[in-house]
Amino acid sequence: MDTLSTVHPAGPAAAVVAVMWWVLLVGSTLIFLFVMILLAAAFRQRSAPIGPAHDSGRERLWIMGLGLAFPLTVLAALLAYGLVVGERLAPKPHPDLVTVGAEASQWTWRFTYADAPGRETWNVLHIPAGRPVDVEITTTDVIHAFWVPRLAGKLDAIPGHVNVLRIEADEPGEYHGVSSEFSGPGYRNRRFLVVAHPAADWTAFLNGEGMDE
Amino acid sequence: MNALRRHRALSRIWASDPGFRGWFTTVNHNDVGRMFIVTSVFFFLVGGILAMLIRAQLATPRSAFVGPEIYNQIFTMHGTIMMFLFAIPLIEGVAIYLLPKLLGTRDLAYPRLTAFGYWCYVFGGSMLLFSLLVGIAPDSGWFLYPPLSSTLGQPGINSDFWLLGITFVEISAIAAAVEITVTVLRYRAPGMSLTRMPVLAWYLLVTVVMILTGFPPLILGSILLELERAFGMPFFQVEHGGDSLLWQHLFWLFGHPEVYIIFLPAAGVISTILPVMARTTLLGYGWVVAAAIALGVLSFGLWVHHMYVTGIPHMGVAFFSAASTLVAVPTAVQVFAWIGTLWKGQPQLRLPMLWILGFFVTFVIGGLTGVMVAIVPFDAQVHDTYFIVAHLHYVLVGGFVFPMMAALYYWLPHVTGRKRFFKLGEAAFWLIFLGFHVTFLALHWVGLLGMRRRIYTFDSGQGWELVNLISSIGGFVATIGFGLVLVDIIVNAVVATRGVRNPWGAGTLEWAMPTPPPAYTFASLPSVSERDPLLKEPRLGVGLAKGEGFLGDPSRGRRETLCVETASGRPAYLVTFPDNSALPFALSAVTGGIFLGMLLKAYWLIPLSILGIVALGVRWVWTTGADRDRGPMDVGRGVSLIPAEEAEDPPGWWGSVFLLLADATLFGSLLFGYAFLWTVAPNWPPPSYLAPDPVAAVLAAVGGLVAVAAFRLAARALEQGGSAIGWLILAALGAGAVGAAAISVMVARPDFTAHAYDATLWVIAGYVLLHAALAVLMALFLAARGWLGFLGPRRRGPVRVGQIWADYLLVVAAIGLGAAWLPGAFA
Ligand code: HEM
Ligand SMILES: [Cu+2]
């Protein structure tokens, strides 16, 4: 249950977006209700004054006020919010940074580790908990995407390109990941696991212990 | 002449051929518009059946109904059919049927082109339908991303059906767009200035100009991908200098405007119907038109929001996120203008209004989720999940299908001439409206719970089961509703009672005619002095039937209408339309030979089809024009006008200008692709460059300039009463020289599979060569026409048409061949 849920975050990036979702939901609901009330109120019995003078007043209210000023204000605030969050999530230098590689193909993931050259794992990605991790994503055949919903948003694996995604797990544990760009008949079962280790286990992993995959 | 005699005379002139034959030879917009609509509804049913298969499969976890191979075809074809074979053709059909009537004219600018477009749609659509029935349908999603859709991911024939079938169908979209643009700009009732135009005509104008500039990137992308699949030209293969991202850019350069191409006509329908339902006029006509134009323009700057997660640089993403939120503003202007209109009038809850309310509820939700996914971090979570599936259906069904239902019930009395008797429509509304929301509202939530789109089944235990079951039930309820609409329409078209002429009390001209409309539409053309002519003069239709308008005298025995000046609507010249003809059907069948040849890899069919196209094309144009100067002719109400072929800017000239707009967009997309690969694709620059060829360069420059000059001298010679033949032959030679220079590029880089650079050179050179061949053909055709006396001092228009094609050739040769040679010159 909830292993792929974006609203049960387990890392800072996913947490920010989960909050964002609730903000967006509340804001949208309010706007929706506002519009619906205006719409319903048009049907009440009354006689509206007619004539061009009244029309220009209406244009000021409905078009310049509600049509232009209202969305411009809301959208400007929203955009600023989105850009600030986006800026915060972007990969930036960090003293504790760990770099791993994720190479997709139909239909497996191969993971490599900058701190342990030559070390490879298939369909299980090991990371340290509580430290930012940059995943360098690419593919050997068609387009795939790397997505661990509880940790962060997704990023595509594009042939010939390397995309870098910043993820982080707050706590040690196992997190489910899926490829989320359609890649043919085997697409549905394109799963992988991210194992976040406590610091000691991570060192052990890098030293080559517990290589059982 | 009384109204009945006039009706009989005009009906004789405009009648389609009787019986079965009439289907294939009709060029009348009444017929072709209805054929478009019926065919697109047929495809809606097919797409709907596929949707039901999807929902049946996903109703329960671990369903064994279909496996991934079939499921992938089903959802790909559902999306493809709904977008390309239902929505766009339905818009075309509605526009074709309504537009001449709204504008107060008798037909669209190029009746035979209307029919040609229809047959291209039928043939292209049949290809896709065939692939579906045989089980070899496209299966890489409706946006067909390579490498999955290319030979690497799909070595079979499946993707070719998509690339070729859809391109064939796009021909019809381009044809309709050229025709509708020219119709709105020139074919209106006298006195209908741009500011007096019905608001729907404005919306359709914006829509079709968007088709002219939005579809060419997709057409180019499809050509490139088909060339890659058929001949190994590696445009999208990274190891040979291609880049799969190029496809995504080309596709979404089309794909985002496409969404607005679908929405704008629906918004135009609402702007038309809603004021009538509220017994008032539209609030802020100017603002609404400006908002439609702004939407059209802005929508070309948003395509990257479909590619947020492809790793676009940070700054770029910020820009596109800003543009994507901004686009909500013109939409808000329209929504509030509509609500303000309701406040201004007295809205009545008749059936079309009910559908419009359904539109408001649904579309506002879709718009709000649209703003959500414009925010990059949020999109990174929900992209490719069921949140997006829900969002896109709220926009497409709420913003397109529901307004089209309003349109259906609003204009049905016009098409059938009857009033609704059995009221199944209200029940159907509730079934569809509630069924829709039950289907899609909760799907947002499973998307947030991580359910990806395009999975053929899912495991239990993730909190998705209940929502999916409810969704499937909702889908079936909506389907029953659509079935009921169909029954309602058929029953009411067959057995209901005759209705009155203008049942809604509308102000636009389509109601100033008998219903169902006669083939000639207006017995005489109205003279328009305000935006809603019928509000002031409800009995206008009676006067027109009595011949009180323009062209009320059918004695010349031809299908006639008027062209007006674009801005003012002052009458400009007299147009004589062609009669019924099998040429459109034949031409599109022969055009199909090219697509069939590519599909079956029977390449010998292609040159054969090209010969056929040229022969039929010559035959087609040959029937236009006159062999002597006719001078001004009486058009009624004391006005005399020159015939079209004596105008400086005949319809063919206008059509060429807008066709060239699409053509130039295609060329621009090609140059964009070249520059994109150059700067973004990993394996660039290529191992070696094409060496510039001074001889070919001089040949191209001199040839192009000669062609351009010779056309002008030909027009001048005609004006002075001389012969143009010599000049036209010189023009053909000049254009031929440009073609030879283009061929030299291909000869210099024979291996087009080596690198995307070589493949691109071939396409650029091929493009120049094609236009050189066209210019040669035109020049020779005109020379032959001149020789037989079809050109004269007043009849210079055809030469002016050829001239702009020659001018265009010079431009593309200079840019295209320059882009091919310059890198080598500097290396
Ligand atoms: C009540 C009717 C409809 C139902 C129940 C329905 C259902 C669905 C479902 C469940 C999917 C997702 C399939 C998947 O990802 O596996 C889908 C995809 C899609 N639908 Fe619909 N749909 C309906 C009507 C429409 C209409 C009217 C349009 C367009 C005008 C449309 C356009 C699309 C598109 C473009 C896709 C994406 C296909 C792809 O992923 O390649 N649908 N539909
Ligand atoms: Cu878009």
- Whether residue A132 lies inside any domain: the answer is yes
DSSP state of B301: G
Rounded percentage of chain B residues whose pLDDT exceeds 70: 100
- DSSP line for B630-679: ---EEEETTEEEEEGGGSSS-HHHHHHHHHHHHHHHHHHHHHHHHHHHHH
Are A103 and A126 found together in one domain?
A: yes
Structural domain boundaries, residue A72: 12-89
- Element of type H or E holding B172: helix B158-186
pLDDT band at A211 (very low <50, low <70, confident <90, very high): low
- Whether residue A3 lies inside any domain: the answer is no
Spell out the domains of chain B, with CATH numbers in brackets. 657-826 (1.20.120.80)
Q: What is the pLDDT of residue A210?
A: 60
Q: What is the pLDDT of residue A100?
A: 97
The interaxial angle of helices B328-344 and A70-89, nearest 10 deg, is: 150
- On the 0-12 / 13-18 / 19+ scale of CB atoms within 10 A, B555 is exposed
Joined together, the tokens standing for residue A176 give: 């489910």
Q: What is the pLDDT of residues B592-614, one digit of tens each?
A: 999 999 999 999 999 999 999 99
Are A174 and A117 found together in one domain?
A: yes
Measured CA distances, B286 to A57, A59, B272, B296, B337 (Å) = 15, 10, 14, 15, 11
Residues of A in contact with B371 (CB under 8 A): 28, 75, 78
Nearest CA to B220 out of B235, B205, B198 is that of: B235
Measured CA distances, B646 to B94, B712, B801 (Å) = 32, 17, 13
Q: Is the pLDDT of residue B557 over 60?
A: yes
User: Which residues lie below 8 Å from residue B166, measured CB to CB, with a gap of 6+?
Assistant: B80, B84, B124, B128, B218, B222
Rounded percentage of chain B residues whose pLDDT exceeds 90: 87
Q: Is the pLDDT of residue B419 over 90?
A: no
Q: What is the pLDDT of residues B424-478, one digit of tens each?
A: 899 999 999 999 999 999 999 999 999 999 999 999 989 999 999 999 999 999 9
pLDDT band at B672 (very low <50, low <70, confident <90, very high): very high
Mean pLDDT, chain B, integer: 94
Joined together, the tokens standing for residue B821 give: 């040679």
Nearest CA to B58 out of B422, B573, B355, B453 is that of: B453
The answer to whether A38 and B340 have CB atoms below 8 angstroms apart is no
The region of weakest confidence among A31-40, B15-24, B141-150, B653-662 is: B15-24
Length of chain B: 827
Mutate to test the pocket of ligand 1, among B75, B91, B149 (most ligand atoms within 8 A of CB): B75
Q: Is the pLDDT of residue B745 over 70?
A: yes
CA-based diameter of chain A, in Å? 84
Q: Is the pLDDT of residue B645 over 90?
A: no
- Whether residue A23 lies inside any domain: the answer is yes
Are A84 and A173 found together in one domain?
A: no
User: How far apart are the C-alpha atoms of B810 and B812, rounded to whole Å?
Assistant: 6
The answer to whether B681 and B248 have CB atoms below 8 angstroms apart is no
CATH number at residue A158: 2.60.40.420
Are A103 and A81 found together in one domain?
A: no
Are A155 and A56 found together in one domain?
A: no
Q: Is the pLDDT of residue A12 over 50?
A: yes
Nearest CA to B822 out of B675, B667, B666 is that of: B675
B459 touches chain A (CB under 8 A): no
Q: How confident is the model over A102-128, as a mean pLDDT?
A: 94
Strand pairing partners for B564? B571
The answer to whether B789 and B762 have CB atoms below 8 angstroms apart is no
pLDDT band at B324 (very low <50, low <70, confident <90, very high): confident
Strands A120-122 and A108-113 turn out to be antiparallel
- Whether residue A153 lies inside any domain: the answer is yes
Q: Which residue of A has its CA nearest to B282?
A: A55
What is the whole-number distance in angstroms between the Cα of residue B370 and the centre of ligand 2?
A: 9
Q: How many CB atoms lie within 10 A of CB B747?
A: 10
In this prediction, does ipTM exceed 0.90?
yes
Q: Is the pLDDT of residue A213 over 50?
A: no
- Whether residue A65 lies inside any domain: the answer is yes
- Whether residue A1 lies inside any domain: the answer is no
Joined together, the tokens standing for residue A76 give: 């400007």
Joined together, the tokens standing for residue B155 give: 């070595």
Q: What is the pLDDT of residue B500?
A: 82
Side-chain-facing half-sphere of B255: CA atoms under 13 Å: 20
Picking from A62, A89, A116, the residue at the C-terminal end of a domain is: A89
Secondary structure string (H, E, C) spanning B370-389: HHHHHCHHHHHHHCCEHHHH
Q: How confident is the model over B269-273, as a mean pLDDT?
A: 97
Whether B364 and A158 lie within 8 Å, measured CB to CB: no
Are A170 and A106 found together in one domain?
A: yes
Q: What is the pLDDT of residues B187-212, one digit of tens each?
A: 999 999 999 999 999 999 999 999 99
pTM attached to this predicted model? 0.96
User: How far apart are the C-alpha atoms of B617 and B607, rounded to whole Å?
Assistant: 15
Report B:423-452 residues touching A (Cβ under 8 A): 448-452
Picking from A89, A111, A132, the residue at the C-terminal end of a domain is: A89
The region of weakest confidence among A88-92, A174-178, B29-33 is: A88-92
Are A83 and A105 found together in one domain?
A: no
Query: Which residue CA neighbors atom 38 of ligand 1 most closely?
Result: B79
Going along B293-443, which residue ranges are E strands?
A: none
Are A50 and A109 found together in one domain?
A: no
Are A117 and A164 found together in one domain?
A: yes
pLDDT band at B19 (very low <50, low <70, confident <90, very high): confident
What is the number of domains present in chain A? 2
Q: What is the pLDDT of residue A7?
A: 95
Q: What is the pLDDT of residue B559?
A: 95
User: How far apart are the C-alpha atoms of B309 and B558, rounded to whole Å?
Assistant: 59
Nearest to B364 among A35, A75, A145 (CB): A35
User: Which residues lie below 8 Å from residue B45, measured CB to CB, with a gap of 6+?
Assistant: none
The residue type found at B812 is V
User: How far apart are the C-alpha atoms of B236 and B138, rounded to whole Å?
Assistant: 18
Q: What is the pLDDT of residues B100-131, one digit of tens each?
A: 999 999 999 999 999 999 999 999 999 999 99
Q: How confident is the model over B87-94, as a mean pLDDT?
A: 97
Picking from A38, A59, A89, the residue at the C-terminal end of a domain is: A89
The answer to whether B569 and B655 have CB atoms below 8 angstroms apart is no
Which numbered ligand comes closest to the C-alpha of B306? 2
- Whether residue A130 lies inside any domain: the answer is yes
- Whether residue A7 lies inside any domain: the answer is no
Are A43 and A79 found together in one domain?
A: yes
Report B:115-174 residues touching A (Cβ under 8 A): 140-141, 145, 147-148, 152-153
Are A104 and A84 found together in one domain?
A: no
What is the whole-number distance in angstroms between the Cα of residue B359 and the centre of ligand 1?
A: 18
Are A144 and A183 found together in one domain?
A: yes
More confident residue, B818 or B1: B818
